[in-house]
Structure 1
Amino acid sequence: MRSNRFLAVAAITATAALGLAACSGTTAADQSADAGASAEGYPITIESALGTATLTEKPERVATVNWANHEVPLALGVVPVGMAAANFGDDDGDGLLPWVSERLEELGAETPVLFDETDGIDFEAVADTNPDVILAAYSGLTQEDFDTLSEIAPVVAYPDAPWSTSWRDVIEVNAAGMGMAAEGEQLVADIEDEIAASVAEYPQLEGKSTMFLTHIDPADLSEVSFYTSNDTRSAFFEDLGLATPKSVQEASASGEFSGTVSAEQVDTFEDVDLIVTYGDGDLVATLEGDPLLSQMPAVRNGAIVALDGSGPLGTAANPTPLAISWVLDDYLALLAEAADKVQ
């Protein structure tokens, strides 16, 4: 269930604005102008874990920083004035992931200014785009980053913790920061409908317990690392009809995004039906040949989905507003193929 507490803040602020307008002594012309402003619902205040963004009018120039935030305005038909260049998963080196390129083409738009974030946020480049708002609901902004960006324009940052915002809240928070809260809610509903329709075609996925193995070193399999359900990749499994193993649930209680256990404790994962990981056939063969890890039911049954972590498909396993539709059918097919091997 998604939270609308960010929109509630905006609604409270807008209501206060209406009350102030009603109580003020103004001329007929002023009242007409106030009515127009109030109808638009401004000012809007959006709280985040790092601070407050206050919008006095609907932003016209939208900039985004960090991963995937630009996908929200693009999905809603707004082309950012600037956005972060893709720093992984970019298979042709143009700084754009394929689903972003396709959306820009659909909108008949040129590529916006691309911020090179290899060494962190390029504050000067962001400032040069003269934005009215900076979207960063899914990001790793530090307090210093937020404060510096706020000198350029209001910053809509993550509501709780860095890199933890669900795809639903990424849409709703960023859309609210564009003055398009209703459109954001509709986009979430449309994506949910699309997911539900596609998942219905793969009944074998229902309830299969799935974990996302990560940081596997074929030369050292003494430890097993995995993403907890606090990571968006693992959280997405439940959208796909899959279940979170009890072992992963317990590890998620700490609030960390990943966990690690010794390979000697591999029986911890007796409840895992499917494994998703980054790698290739060689990695799968390595897991199957390991005397300890091969005891995991998912490994023993070959119920493994190995994704190319440097390519678009692997990148899209981390759900983002445009990537979900782009990857959904292919991802479900791979998961279903693995689910068919579960005994």
Structure 2
Amino acid sequence: MPGSLRGTRLAAALVSVLMLFVTVAACGSSGSADAGSAKPGASDRTWPVTITHKYGSTTIKAEPRRIVTVGLTDQDSVLALGKVPVGTTEWLGGYKGAIGPWAAGKAAGAATPTVLKDTGTGPQTEKIAALRPDLILAVYGGLTKAQYTTLSKFAPVVAQPKEYNDYGVPWQKQTEIIGKALGLESKATSLVSGVQADIKAAAAKHPAFAKASAVTATPYEGIFVFGSQDPRSRVLTDLGFTLPADLDKVIGDEFGANISKERTDLLDTGAIVWIVSDTAKDEAKLHKDALYADLKVARQNREVFIKETSDYGNAVSFVTVLSLPYMLDRLVPQLAAAVDGDPATKVPAPTA
């Protein structure tokens, strides 16, 4: 996750970036006529608009035309709302423009966004400045106060909401915040309602979900379990599943954490979703662990294994208004097989 800039290096970098920003600004801006600019659309509000977040509030004075997404999945909400960012931040998949296959059609006909990377020291500030943004979105993210202050020199910045953990904003709230920032609140509300209806329909079709517990985990440096504020966990609870009672007590106020061998019991749920690098190898390795192999969830074939580097795996981690329908088409049948009450049922691989 992004780190913070420190000491004199921050000061020097800031001076350099400010000089760069002045230079590119002096070259002029053609607004929405620039290649890759967000297309102007009908706004359903009068500007300016003010949005509160972890570091206070940000006022956006006019309809944004050059949007940069620093939040790791924020591009999906922007695309769903009919605009194309000039810059996106790469997280998973290595996709062109950092746009996953579930969202690619939304960018058709527009210039491919410039892809920014987070190398562990925070957003690529100079590259962001060079894109001449008029809005920087960092909703699904973990900006530090220093990073927020630096980016705010170039454009209004909407940071992560304060009422959730960093990287813990629900997809519904993410979509609504970005809809408000773009002046498209009504459309955002409609999009959220549509996907929520799909989730409710899936839950109604599979009443066994509401009678089972579930958890999402990954074999990272032992076993890493995702807590209730992680978007992946919220998908399970939205479908009707309950999470282990002690989950957040063990994890604390983070989106997830590694658990000790003594808390392997947290995995003994009605179904477990494993996000793994290699489905066959990781399943075999897990089943060699005597503690895990003895759990009912393992003995009764209630495991869903998802390859993290696949498009499906990336969609599972994205959890956005655009990736959710793509994910649900694959995940729901697997969860249904896991909780069908028959230990002989092997959870199938997704059909597409």
TM class, shorter-length? 0.7 to 0.9
Name the residue aligned to 1:311.
310
Deviates more, 1:110-119 or 1:130-139: 110-119
Relative to structure 1, is the Cα distance of residues 118 and 216 closer, same or farther in structure 2, using a 3 angstrom cutoff?
closer
**Partner Cα distance (2:259, 2:138) in 1:** 33
Residue 332 of structure 1, CA deviation: 0.9
Deviations 1:194-236 (A, max 9, x none): 222233333332332001122345xxxxx64311112121122
**Partner Cα distance (2:91, 2:259) in 1:** 30
Maintained 8 Å contact 2:80/2:321: yes
Residue 264 of structure 1, CA deviation: 4.0
Provide the secondary structure at the position in 2 that maps to 1:192.
helix
Deviations 1:274-304 (A, max 9, x none): 1111221232233333221122221121111
Q: Which of residues 169, 175, 187 in structure 1 aligns to 2:191?
A: 187
Relative to structure 1, is the Cα distance of residues 262 and 83 closer, same or farther in structure 2, using a 3 angstrom cutoff?
closer
**Partner Cα distance (1:154, 1:213) in 2:** 36
**Partner Cα distance (1:115, 1:342) in 2:** 47
Deviates more, 1:294-303 or 1:192-201: 192-201
What is the TM-score when the length of structure 2 is the normalising length? Answer: 0.76
Name the residue aligned to 2:334.
334
Name the residue aligned to 1:177.
181
Q: Which of residues 75, 78, 101 in structure 1 aligns to 2:104?
A: 101
**Partner Cα distance (1:201, 1:110) in 2:** 41
Name the residue aligned to 1:157.
159
Maintained 8 Å contact 2:142/2:166: yes
Name the residue aligned to 1:71.
76
**Partner Cα distance (1:206, 1:321) in 2:** 23
Maintained 8 Å contact 1:208/1:242: yes
**Partner Cα distance (1:214, 1:342) in 2:** 25
Provide the secondary structure at the position in 2 that maps to 1:213.
strand
Name the residue aligned to 1:276.
273
**Partner Cα distance (1:200, 1:299) in 2:** 26
Provide the secondary structure at the position in 2 that maps to 1:134.
strand
**Partner Cα distance (1:53, 1:87) in 2:** 25
Letter in 1 for 2:303: I
**Partner Cα distance (2:266, 2:131) in 1:** 51
Relative to structure 1, is the Cα distance of residues 114 and 269 closer, same or farther in structure 2, using a 3 angstrom cutoff?
closer
Maintained 8 Å contact 2:45/2:184: no
**Partner Cα distance (2:190, 2:240) in 1:** 22
Deviates more, 1:258-267 or 1:157-166: 258-267
The answer to whether 1:236 aligns with 2:235 is yes
Residue 88 of structure 1, CA deviation: 2.1
Provide the secondary structure at the position in 2 that maps to 1:70.
helix
Letter in 2 for 1:114: V
**Partner Cα distance (1:260, 1:341) in 2:** 29
**Partner Cα distance (1:265, 1:167) in 2:** 29
Provide the secondary structure at the position in 2 that maps to 1:170.
helix
Name the residue aligned to 2:112.
111
Residue 112 of structure 1, CA deviation: 1.9
Name the residue aligned to 1:290.
289
**Partner Cα distance (2:161, 2:103) in 1:** 25
| Structure 1: stretches of 5+ with no match in the other structure | 1-38, 218-222
Name the residue aligned to 1:12.
none
| Structure 2: stretches of 5+ with no match in the other structure | 1-43, 344-352
The answer to whether 1:255 aligns with 2:253 is yes
Name the residue aligned to 1:266.
264
Relative to structure 1, is the Cα distance of residues 257 and 117 closer, same or farther in structure 2, using a 3 angstrom cutoff?
closer
Q: Which runs of 4+ in 1 moved over 6 A?
A: none
Residue 255 of structure 1, CA deviation: 1.8
Provide the secondary structure at the position in 1 that maps to 2:84.
coil
Residue 342 of structure 1, CA deviation: 5.9
Larger of the two Rg values belongs to structure: 1
**Partner Cα distance (2:193, 2:83) in 1:** 19
Provide the secondary structure at the position in 2 that maps to 1:52.
strand
Provide the secondary structure at the position in 1 that maps to 2:274.
strand
Deviations 1:126-153 (A, max 9, x none): 2222222111111121111111111111
Relative to structure 1, is the Cα distance of residues 224 and 79 closer, same or farther in structure 2, using a 3 angstrom cutoff?
closer
The CA RMSD measured in Å over matched residues stands at 2.3
What is the TM-score when the length of structure 1 is the normalising length? Answer: 0.78
Letter in 1 for 2:228: S
**Partner Cα distance (2:264, 2:69) in 1:** 42
Relative to structure 1, is the Cα distance of residues 249 and 213 closer, same or farther in structure 2, using a 3 angstrom cutoff?
same
Letter in 1 for 2:85: P
Q: How does 1:72-91 map to 2 (within 5 A)?
A: 72-84=77-89, 86-90=90-94
Relative to structure 1, is the Cα distance of residues 109 and 201 closer, same or farther in structure 2, using a 3 angstrom cutoff?
farther
Residue 269 of structure 1, CA deviation: 4.7
Residue 189 of structure 1, CA deviation: 0.9
Letter in 2 for 1:198: A
Q: Which of residues 135, 138, 146 in structure 2 aligns to 1:136?
A: 138
**Partner Cα distance (1:215, 1:288) in 2:** 12
- Percent of residue pairs identical: 30
Maintained 8 Å contact 2:140/2:167: yes
Provide the secondary structure at the position in 2 that maps to 1:246.
coil
Name the residue aligned to 2:214.
210
